[in-house]
Amino acid sequence: MTVKIPNSVDTLIHIGANTGNNGNYYQHARRLLLIEPNPRCAPLLKQFSQEHGNACLFEVAIADRNGSSTFNIYNWNEASSLYQATGLAELMPGLKVQQVLEVATLTLTRLLEHAKLPQQVDHMLIIDACGAEQLIARQLTQLDRDNPFAHIILHCPHEPHYNSNSHSETVLTILLQQGYELMATDSSDPDRPFFQLYRNALKLELSETSTALAEVQIARDDLQKKLTEQTAQLNATNNRLTEFDLQLALASKTNAEVRKTLVHNKASFDQQQTQLQQQLAEARQTSARLKQQLATTHQARTELEEQQEKCQQRLKEVSQAEETAQQNTKTALSERDYARKEILMLSQALEDKKRELEKKEEELKQLRNNKTIENILEEKINNMVLSQTQEINKMVNGLKNHINNGLGNTAKQIESFMGIQNYLEKGIKPLSFHGWPISPDIGLYITGLIDEANYDCIIEFGSGTSTLLMAKALNAKQKNLTVKNVKNIKKHKENKRLHDIKDIDYTYHVLPAKIISFEHNFLYFEKTGKLLVEHGIEHLVDLVHAPLVDYQYKDDQQYLYYNCEEKLSDIAKLFKGKKANIMVLIDGPPGATNNNARFPALPHLINTLAGNKLTLIMDDYHRAEEKDIMEAWKKIIKERSLDFEFNVIPSEKGLASLSIL
């Protein structure tokens, strides 16, 4: 249906203008007032206002008070509102809040004061504010005869889409009670139909006058009936009045005595009233002072919060700059060492050239008597020096390219060479440390821990090369323990009966798989599983696909972390009644997931595995975020009065160890 806009409209106010894509509404209006609080729509509406000289933009929302309110911006921009989209979210499961911000608000009455609409002409109102339709209709009711709008276009759903419970049936009822007539309806979009209404002021006034006239006639009949009744009552009253005159004479004497008493009581009452008024004035002065102090306190608090926010932002920028500077320093030091070697080679070549130049100079001395030869030799020497200078510049440029290209490839070449050599000597497939998170020095440290300590269980957050490396180290240690047990059995058979053997180590097989590794990325989950099968050690690892789920700590901070609670509870049941020795490698999730992405590891572990010895290994400790997480962990442990040890292990990417004893 096409809405017909009358040519006589003076001012059109569009509440919820969005991006101003309703040109067919605007073309017949002399003046446009566009009301839109969404900052994402502001650029287009400002451009529209500049292009149309009769348009003015108000970046406010219509609400029940003047001031400010929170505004929800959804991933579907047209659904953004002061209210929460409860009903709309059921129709559109993918609807999500992208941003919540503070916007300015005005009541409809205050907006009309700013608009200054001329009288004796028709104006139009477009109500397109999601969730606020019923509020705006009720504010129109408050205007009563000051309502300036002859035409209304209403966009409102049949069912409530927001927690304001606003829907078309209620809104239309309110508008019809104000004298509006429904001219047209369009439900082609069942989720958001629109309605055109018209209010005939003369017809409304005639209807009100007819109603008032009927009420006057009814009141006149009632008065006539009451007049007849009161005439009869008047006659009876005259009779009684004579009796009252007699009684009045007697009462006058009594009244004179009462007046004397009242005069005395009035003087006392006036004195008490004066005292109470003085106390009230003092109380009001005290209240005014307290209000002024409260306003000053609120202002100081706001300024302190702004300063704190600026300091936190500055601290974050400094931390990022420090991290970047450390990385650049490492790279520069490495390039400096290579450059020094090449400069030594160039210096030696330069010395050779100098000696050659000195020899040429000696030849030149012998030919000084012949100026022609001297000029020729001088020209040759200059050409030679120029040529050598160009050659040295080429060598320096080549050195720079060689350094840049060689640095990135050196680590891969060394790693590949060692892997091939190990494969040729022992038939073991090489491990790849380049391209996966863990670095060789950290891998060496972890394998050393596994070899030295008898861990009942190893938990890993974030799989990869580290999973394979720990499984191979564990496999080698189990083989050594098996050999040790066999030797013990043979030794005891020689000296004792078989049933007396008690010192054989069976403690290494409590769990079906000694390593439990959580991985959220399904691609890496499959890649790690395939890697374990290729090396024949998949039986040692319980590889768990644990997608990232919402997690909220008691400080109300929101995180995305592995779905690991059920698995950790199963581990706790296996070790019930025993203090297990557990190592935990924390190498995920990625830092880009959210701030302090790896923090939830300790709360999960300490809530499910309390009472066990936990050794937490934190990778990437050179980063400021990991250091902040470690400090937060220490605080949690101290709050629970637990003993702990903390160590920083020098490595390429930083490594820290936190043991809860």
In the chain, what are the domain boundaries?
Answer: 9-199, 367-423, 440-660
- Contact between residue 541 and residue 499 where contact means Cβ atoms under 8 Å apart: no
Residue 493 has pLDDT above 70, yes or no: no
What topology does CATH give the domain 9-199? Answer: Rossmann fold (3.40.50)
- Contact between residue 34 and residue 44 where contact means Cβ atoms under 8 Å apart: no
The C-alpha atoms of residue 518 and residue 538 are separated, in whole angstroms, by: 14
The C-alpha atoms of residue 215 and residue 220 are separated, in whole angstroms, by: 9
3-state secondary structure of 540: helix
Residue 383 has pLDDT above 80, yes or no: no
What integer pLDDT is reported at residue 413 of this predicted model?
47
Q: What is the mean pLDDT of residues 550-554?
A: 88
Q: What is the mean pLDDT of residues 591-611?
A: 91
Q: What is the mean pLDDT of residues 349-357?
A: 77
Burial 597-617 (b: 16+ CB within 10 A, else e): bbbbbbbbbbebbeebbbbbb
The CATH code for residues 440-660 is 3.40.50.150
Higher pLDDT, 441 or 600: 600
Residue 511 has pLDDT above 70, yes or no: no
- Contact between residue 59 and residue 80 where contact means Cβ atoms under 8 Å apart: no
Place of tokens 């605080």: 635
User: Residue 153: which H helix or E strand, with range?
Assistant: strand 149-155
What integer pLDDT is reported at residue 428 of this predicted model?
52
Residue 213 has pLDDT above 90, yes or no: no
Q: Please state which of the ranges 210-214, 246-250, 491-495 shows the lowest mean pLDDT.
A: 491-495
First-to-last C-alpha distance (Å) of the chain: 75
- Contact between residue 353 and residue 388 where contact means Cβ atoms under 8 Å apart: yes
3-state secondary structure of 33: strand
pLDDT digits (tens, 9 = 90+) for 183-196: 999 988 888 898 99
pLDDT digits (tens, 9 = 90+) for 2-12: 556 667 789 99
Q: 193: how many CB neighbours lie within 10 A of its CB?
A: 17
- The string of DSSP codes covering 563-578 is --HHHHHHHHHHTTTS
Nearest to 6 by CA among 32, 25, 34: 25
> What is the rounded average pLDDT for all residues in the chain?
82
Q: What is the mean pLDDT of residues 81-108?
A: 94
Whether the domain at 9-199 and the domain at 440-660 fall into the same CATH topology: yes
